[in-house]
């Protein structure tokens, strides 16, 4: 049946695809996938699902996508589920496959933008369950700027004896040092991951879910629900309903993703003791939303925001235990009442942040997971941006204070993550070493691998306070210790990290916010003058394209900066 040509503001994009006589072929194709004549008069909502059986983080998301679709259909929309990719950091960690992890963020953003733009969806519900899914989904929503809601797939339940994936990485280090037996390592391996959901501490997935909730782009409590729970099903249904309300009120992602909203996200990440990856991803998301955000904004906000949550990896508790006392909403209300959040920011509920938090109850009096503002774990941010002659364009450290605030040692240089891990496990790395892992940046990797295997091995061997690690790569949210990543410029483009020699003295000073190579500037200049670019590792395919396009880590490692 031909449709009339009357424009409908609720179907701003889908009407172009399905209205009028000339679009009969489009309607014919859609009849085959289940559209009725009545459906063509409804707003079309794409449900971007990151379902995959390659990782437990995403294995349940197909069911969540169906719940979100039911929410859309129940309030007069027409849902269309489609897929995008995911890769598993936990599985690929420490291997060449990890080079594809950060690349997948761009592929996810590109694919959601591509399908939504081609199909003319009027709104989007995007569901992510692993580290790069979340910023990838958010970058797509910001690019499209059509009414959209993000849904977090949810955290995993704890394994036996409160184990999680980081327990396994650290058990490997314990095994290498003789502290963990074959049988114990096998038991940890078999009990750490009990089922669906993202890694269980305040690692990158839970950090980014919390940041997106604080940004206003997911519904209240979406970040603080277990993957396998009735609460998560309801969250998905409500997200489907919410996107229809956003269409009704013409509220779009860039109305929500303002500079003040990004400041809210940074504040909550700091208070939770979240992952260094949040710096990289929030910079990328802000770039996509055309919001000016810089490394120094993390320093500025971090000077006044304390770390309050005693959560893994540097703390004691898992995300499930934070969920049990109320999630992050009571923490956000505390921050709001202290003047540390912008309460007037719009959210996907159609209400402001302050309105959403108005009825939130405080944490139980007897809990010790989230501390009071006057009794913080750390009085200022654990995310410390360091500059200096080793990082002229910046670097990012995760310093809880437990390992101290200053480390000086002797460089032990490795040209890859694999080489460093071998040296840690076989005892080559000793007390007082500053491990330098280079040519692992966005260009040099290519792909900027995470260094959970080396940091996990360091902690498992009991050397967390005895050695430091710096890299132009990045760290898993599960990494902890005296570690500095995102060193820019990276080695592959001639940054000073490229000319460090084993035995050089290096100082990491969190109080002065300095990463320093302790040799003369004349010697640095002489070494840089002799430096030659490394051979190109990849000449074809996605990694080669990524290396040619990607910006520095200090700019979010985006691939459309100068496009």
Q: Is the peptide bond before 283 cis (omega within 30 degrees of 0)?
A: no
Report pLDDT digits (tens) over 465-507: 899 999 999 988 777 778 999 999 999 999 999 999 999 999 9
For residue 551, CA distances in Å to 29, 175, 442, 475, 547 come to 40, 39, 8, 18, 9
| Helix or strand run (H / E) with residue 508 | strand 505-509
Q: Are residues 268 and 416 in the same domain?
A: no
**Interatomic CA distance for residues 489 and 397, integer angstroms:** 15
Residue 327 confidence (pLDDT) = 98
Q: Are residues 179 and 201 in the same domain?
A: no
**Interatomic CA distance for residues 526 and 15, integer angstroms:** 64
Nearest to 47 by CA among 253, 239, 328, 264: 239
Virtual CA dihedral for 455, 457, 461, 463, nearest 10 degrees? -20
pLDDT band per the 50, 70, 90 thresholds, residue 562: confident
Q: Are residues 118 and 227 in the same domain?
A: yes
**Interatomic CA distance for residues 411 and 500, integer angstroms:** 8
Q: How far apart are the first and last CA of the chain?
A: 42
Q: Are residues 175 and 216 in the same domain?
A: no
Question: One of 210, 223, 420, 476 is an active-site residue; which one?
Answer: 476
Is 476 a known active-site residue?
yes
pLDDT band per the 50, 70, 90 thresholds, residue 563: low
Instruction: Considering only residues 455 and 83, tell me which one the structure prediction assigns the higher pLDDT.
Output: 83
Least confident of 163-172, 269-278, 501-510: 163-172
Tell me whether residue 36 is in a domain: no
pLDDT band per the 50, 70, 90 thresholds, residue 72: very high
Q: Are residues 169 and 125 in the same domain?
A: no
Number of alpha carbons in the 13 Å side-chain half-sphere of residue 269? 33
Tell me whether residue 339 is in a domain: yes
**Interatomic CA distance for residues 167 and 458, integer angstroms:** 13
Tell me whether residue 64 is in a domain: yes
Tell me whether residue 9 is in a domain: no
Which of 134, 168, 194 represents a domain boundary (last residue)? 194
**Interatomic CA distance for residues 400 and 54, integer angstroms:** 33
Q: Positive or negative, the Cα torsion across 439, 283, 550, 134?
A: positive
| Helix or strand run (H / E) with residue 29 | helix 24-32
Tell me whether residue 256 is in a domain: yes
Residue 415 maps to which CATH number? 3.50.30.80
For residue 475, CA distances in Å to 396, 480, 506 come to 10, 9, 20
Nearest to 276 by CA among 451, 143, 138, 142: 451
| Encoded tokens for 253 | 């992602």
98-124 as b/e, with b when 16 or more CB fall inside 10 Å? Answer: bbbbbbbbbbbbbbbbebbeebbbbbb
Check: CB of residue 307 under 8 Å from CB of residue 373.
no
Report pLDDT digits (tens) over 387-405: 999 999 999 998 887 778 8
Mean pLDDT of the chain: 95
Instruction: Considering only residues 128 and 93, tell me which one the structure prediction assigns the higher pLDDT.
Output: 128
Residue 258 confidence (pLDDT) = 98
Q: Is 548 helix (H, G, I), strand (E, B) or coil?
A: helix
Q: Are residues 411 and 436 in the same domain?
A: yes
Q: Are residues 273 and 309 in the same domain?
A: yes
**Full-model pTM:** 0.95
**Interatomic CA distance for residues 192 and 159, integer angstroms:** 5
Residue 6 confidence (pLDDT) = 47
Instruction: Identify the domain containing residue 448 by its residue range.
Output: 384-555
Tell me whether residue 525 is in a domain: yes
Which of 194, 220, 250 represents a domain boundary (last residue)? 194
Q: Are residues 270 and 295 in the same domain?
A: yes
Q: Are residues 86 and 179 in the same domain?
A: no
Tell me whether residue 370 is in a domain: no
Report pLDDT digits (tens) over 218-249: 999 999 999 999 999 999 999 999 999 999 99
Q: Are residues 443 and 418 in the same domain?
A: yes
**Interatomic CA distance for residues 73 and 240, integer angstroms:** 8
Report pLDDT digits (tens) over 354-364: 999 999 999 99
Total structural domains within the chain: 3
**CA 535 and chain centroid, separation:** 30
| Helix or strand run (H / E) with residue 259 | helix 259-271
For residue 54, CA distances in Å to 60, 107, 167, 208, 272 come to 11, 16, 21, 21, 29
Q: Are residues 166 and 212 in the same domain?
A: no
Residue 233: how many CB atoms within 10 A of its CB?
Answer: 19
Which of 305, 338, 357 represents a domain boundary (last residue)? 357
Q: Are residues 415 and 539 in the same domain?
A: yes
**Interatomic CA distance for residues 371 and 335, integer angstroms:** 12
Residue 133 maps to which CATH number? 3.40.50.2300
Residue 223: how many CB atoms within 10 A of its CB?
Answer: 31
| Encoded tokens for 461 | 């061997």
Tell me whether residue 14 is in a domain: no
């Amino acid at each position: 049946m031909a449709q009339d040509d009357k424009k409908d503001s609720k179907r701003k994009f889908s009407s172009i695809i399905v209205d009028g006589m000339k679009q009969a072929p489009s309607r014919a194709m859609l009849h085959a996938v289940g559209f009725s004549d009545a459906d063509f008069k409804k707003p079309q909502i794409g449900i971007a699902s990151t379902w995959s059986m390659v990782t437990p983080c995403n294995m349940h998301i197909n069911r969540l996508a169906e719940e979100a679709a039911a929410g859309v259909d129940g309030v007069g929309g027409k849902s269309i589920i489609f897929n995008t990719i995911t890769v598993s950091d936990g599985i690929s960690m420490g291997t060449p496959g990890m080079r594809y992890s950060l690349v997948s963020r761009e592929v996810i953003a590109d694919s959601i933008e591509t399908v939504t733009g081609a199909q003319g969806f009027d709104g989007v519900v995007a569901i992510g369950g692993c580290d790069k899914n979340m910023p990838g989904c958010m970058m797509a929503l910001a690019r499209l700027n059509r009414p959209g809601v993000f849904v977090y797939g949810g955290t995993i339940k704890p394994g036996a004896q409160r184990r999680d994936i980081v327990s396994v990485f650290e058990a490997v280090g314990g095994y290498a040092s003789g502290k963990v037996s074959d049988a114990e390592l096998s038991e940890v391996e078999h009990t750490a991951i009990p089922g669906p959901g993202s890694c269980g501490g305040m690692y990158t997935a839970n950090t980014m879910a919390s940041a997106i909730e604080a940004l206003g782009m997911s519904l209240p409590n979406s970040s603080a629900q277990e993957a396998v729970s009735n609460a998560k099903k309801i969250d998905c249904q409500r997200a489907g309903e919410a996107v229809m309300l956003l269409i009704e009120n013409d509220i779009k992602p860039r109305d929500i993703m303002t500079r003040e909203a990004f400041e809210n996200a940074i504040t909550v990440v700091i208070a939770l003791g979240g992952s260094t990856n949040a710096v990289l991803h929030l910079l990328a998301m802000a770039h996509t939303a055309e919001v000016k955000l810089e490394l120094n904004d993390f320093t500025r906000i971090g000077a006044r925001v304390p770390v309050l949550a005693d959560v893994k990896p540097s703390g004691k508790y898992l995300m499930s235990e934070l969920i049990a006392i109320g999630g992050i909403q009571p923490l956000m209300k505390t921050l709001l009442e202290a003047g540390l959040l912008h309460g007037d920011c719009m959210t996907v509920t159609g209400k402001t942040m302050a309105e959403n938090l108005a009825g939130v109850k405080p944490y139980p009096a007897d809990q010790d997971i989230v501390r009071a503002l006057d009794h913080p774990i750390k009085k200022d941010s654990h995310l410390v941006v360091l500059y200096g002659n080793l990082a002229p364009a910046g670097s990012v450290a995760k310093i809880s204070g437990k390992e101290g605030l200053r480390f000086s040692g002797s460089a032990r240089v490795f040209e890859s993550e694999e080489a460093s891990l071998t040296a840690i496990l076989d005892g080559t790395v000793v007390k007082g070493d500053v491990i330098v892992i280079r040519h692992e940046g966005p260009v040099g990797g290519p792909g900027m691998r995470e260094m959970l295997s080396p940091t996990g091995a360091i902690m498992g061997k009991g050397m967390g306070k005895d050695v430091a690690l710096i890299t132009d790569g990045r760290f898993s949210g599960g990494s902890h210790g005296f570690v500095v990543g995102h060193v820019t410029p990276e080695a592959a483009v001639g940054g000073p990290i490229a000319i460090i020699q084993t035995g050089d003295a290096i100082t990491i000073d969190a109080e002065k916010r300095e990463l320093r190579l302790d040799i003369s500037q004349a010697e640095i200049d002489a070494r840089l003058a002799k430096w030659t670019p490394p051979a190109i590792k990849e000449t074809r395919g996605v990694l080669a394209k990524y290396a040619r396009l990607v910006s520095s880590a200090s700019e979010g490692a985006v691939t459309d900066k100068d496009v």
